[in-house]
Structure 1
Amino acid sequence: MNRQIIPSLDDLRAFEAVARAGSVREAADSLALTHGAVSRRITNLANNLGFQLFERDGRGLKLTPAGQTLHLTVSRFISELGSTVENLRAASSEQSTLVLSCEPSVAMRWLIPRLADFQNMHPDIALHLSVGGGPVEFRRDRINLAIRRLDFALPSDWQVRRLFPEKVGPVMIPDLLPAFNRGAYIALGSKTRPVAWKQWLTATPSAPRPSEIRYHDHHFLAVEAAAAGLGVAIAPQVLVVDDVARGRLIAPAGFQADGSEYGLIWQGKQPLEGARQKLSSWIVKRCAVLKREST
């Protein structure tokens, strides 16, 4: 290919903008250039190519047949170039910056207390934490990896690495154990999982029944209310494993698997590499510890 016949990229960008807008003035506004600068670039491009690109159409411009053919190629080229640059930038930033999305309660009560370990192991990786539940908008929110309870359908272009089964049970301060045993306690639940108490009581028919059930907006609020002695919270084990280990809360009935599980998910068919692989490996190892603690 004779590279000398390839026009200036600035001239091609001006041509594409005018062809798209049908107006030199609107194209100039979109390119943050003056009307005269865009006109000169269009004229220069036509002179270099040796054929006319536009013709008058009332107060605007329209492409000539040759201009239409050129516009198809140029617009496709600019679009592909933009996508390539965006992908390269994402791949480059991914080497040192990661965004991990996690469900709020799990992030607050399990993940954050452990993140210093990851930071100490990989001080070169800037990890940003985002909270959210359910489906993930990977591209829109620039999320690299997400920890989710797998209770929703996963798109075909997502990959998942299963982490640990969900186990739930009632937790309370030690002083509330007598009231719990005689069924004179207030049950604390979460509005994000309003049937949790009903499911646990159905699966555990011999357990004492509460006098009433009160709901908080999130699990972490119910757990804190239980730690304050306000009642008995039905809680996922992952949220209270540290409190139980320290004796802040007790779980006299243990924890039962509810049939769901948590997973690490990401978008795309390619295996994890670089910083994403390092974060994934760390999460898997921490979850392996959690699974051992729950047996």
Structure 2
Amino acid sequence: MELHQDLPPLMALRAFEAVARHLSFIKAADELSVTQSAISHQVQKLEQFLNQRLFIRRTRAIDLTPAGETYYRRIQPALESIASATRELRSDEQQETTLRIGLLASFATLWLAPRLAGFNARHPHIHVELLPSVQLADVNGGEVDLAIRYGKGGWPKVVARRFMGETLTPVCSPAFKAQGVENGPLLMAKSYQPFEWIDWSTHNAVDITHYPSVMLHDYNIVVEAAVGGQGIAMGRQHLIERRLKEGALVTAFDTPPFTNEIGYWLVTPNRPPSHAAESFAQWLEEIADA
């Protein structure tokens, strides 16, 4: 029998062990530097995998079910053994390591940077160096250790896996919408793969050929221009969430949110990743799943 068939996801096990030890989702989330909802999601994933309820959830407290208590006693020593073996193997790797990440400035500013403290707390010996650029960094050539790219994938000579999708909706300022959006202009960011407006207009059967367009250097500038009433931007939900909540941006057209294969991709070289790169990749996928 192959071992992997009976092994649950490791993050789900880590989440369960922390919650069972603390009997608290909040304390487990603090320990693992993720959100409480992420912990809850991982525990639910484990319960589905096992087809067993592991916790009794009460208003102000939780307890292990009998099955959860038995499972915790069985897996806790195994996890401690794995941790101990890992500590011994990594004892000579505690020197500072720099991880260079190529990405768009907009993604760094609007999504990654506010969350980066969680990675720093978990891996204090890995120094993350963000290298924002509109141009694609040469990952396979060693210009960066890994990259985060926005698009549909398909980049040559690299390994790319999508870790987070994106939802697109044209947005503008409330004042701009009140004046009328019929004449645009459409605000666009320079892109290696221009696709947002094309895909959105095709999906919604909206003719945008008569709209003038304004090409801006980076999506950060596109967002600020839209907030300032300069035109209509293609809103990337993950990056403009705060602006929408504040009311600085509103939907420009009466069309539903649009999703397809567009999203954010973790791009690594065509060779085994370093320990630092693998640690960052694991953390990134965890918080994207939260």
Shorter-chain TM-score category?
A: 0.5 to 0.7
Whole-angstrom distance in 1 between the partners of 2:194 and 2:270: 33
Whole-angstrom distance in 2 between the partners of 1:264 and 1:198: 24
Alignment of 1:266 onto 2:268: yes
Q: Deviations over 1:209-242 (max 9, x none)?
A: 9753222122221111001111111233333233
C-alpha contact 1:96 1:126 (8 A) present in aligned 2: yes
C-alpha contact 2:99 2:126 (8 A) present in aligned 1: yes
Q: Deviations over 1:240-273 (max 9, x none)?
A: 2332234332235453124333221222443x56
Partner of 1:197: 197
Whole-angstrom distance in 2 between the partners of 1:255 and 1:236: 10
Change (3 A) 1:237 1:207: farther
Partner of 2:145: 144
RMSD: 3.2
Q: Deviations over 1:83-127 (max 9, x none)?
A: xxxxxxxx9698632111212322232222222332233333211
C-alpha contact 1:219 1:235 (8 A) present in aligned 2: no
Partner of 2:186: 187
Alignment of 1:230-241 (within 5 A): 230-241=230-241
Change (3 A) 1:246 1:275: farther
Partner of 2:40: none
C-alpha contact 2:153 2:265 (8 A) present in aligned 1: no
C-alpha contact 1:201 1:209 (8 A) present in aligned 2: no
Q: CA deviation at 1:278?
A: 2.4
Partner of 2:85: none
C-alpha contact 2:171 2:233 (8 A) present in aligned 1: yes
Runs of at least 5 residues in structure 2 that lack an aligned partner in the other structure: 1-91
Larger Rg: 1
Change (3 A) 1:120 1:265: same
Partner of 2:113: 112
The residue identity in structure 2 corresponding to 1:255 is P
Whole-angstrom distance in 2 between the partners of 1:115 and 1:151: 24
The residue identity in structure 2 corresponding to 1:242 is R
Change (3 A) 1:276 1:191: closer
The residue identity in structure 1 corresponding to 2:283 is W
Q: Structure 2-normalised TM-score?
A: 0.55
The residue identity in structure 2 corresponding to 1:267 is P
Whole-angstrom distance in 2 between the partners of 1:111 and 1:210: 36
Change (3 A) 1:94 1:227: farther
- SS at the partner of 1:257? coil
C-alpha contact 1:171 1:249 (8 A) present in aligned 2: yes
Partner of 1:66: none
C-alpha contact 1:171 1:235 (8 A) present in aligned 2: yes
Partner of 1:161: 161
- SS at the partner of 2:262? strand
C-alpha contact 1:110 1:238 (8 A) present in aligned 2: yes
Change (3 A) 1:246 1:278: farther
Runs of at least 5 residues in structure 1 that lack an aligned partner in the other structure: 1-90, 290-295
Whole-angstrom distance in 1 between the partners of 2:130 and 2:215: 27
Q: Structure 1-normalised TM-score?
A: 0.55
Higher mean Cα deviation, 101-110 or 221-230?
101-110
The structure where helix makes up a greater share of residues is: 1
Whole-angstrom distance in 2 between the partners of 1:264 and 1:194: 19
Alignment of 1:70-89 (within 5 A): none
